[in-house]
Amino acid sequence: MAKYLQTDDPRFVRDVDSKALLNTDLNALQRHRSEREYFQNQQNDINILKNQVHELSSLREEMIELKVLLKKNTSKSEI
């Protein structure tokens, strides 16, 4: 079982076995987890938008190709 010693700063304790300095501020931990989740959601939204832009660019290129083919086809039929 882990044993802890209180440090001068009440937000921290020292693990006797590993000598690790541990933060005991549960509010800070919750804030950190909330911020991490928020930024992960933001990154997911950015990735979704990047994919959508890529799909739209591909569709635009296909439309341009179709337009060129239609122009060629109509110009041949006029001759």
- Provide the domain count of the chain: 1
Confidence of residue 62 (pLDDT cuts 50, 70, 90): very high
pTM as predicted = 0.64
Task: Note the helical H segments in 1-79.
Answer: 26-78
Evaluate whether 21 touches 14 at the Cβ level (below 8 Å): yes
Tell me which residue of 25, 3, 30 sits closest to 14, measured CA to CA: 3
Confidence of residue 75 (pLDDT cuts 50, 70, 90): confident
Give how far Cα 22 sits from Cα of 10, 25, 55, Å.
11, 9, 47
The domain in which residue 32 lies consists of 4-78
Confidence of residue 25 (pLDDT cuts 50, 70, 90): very high
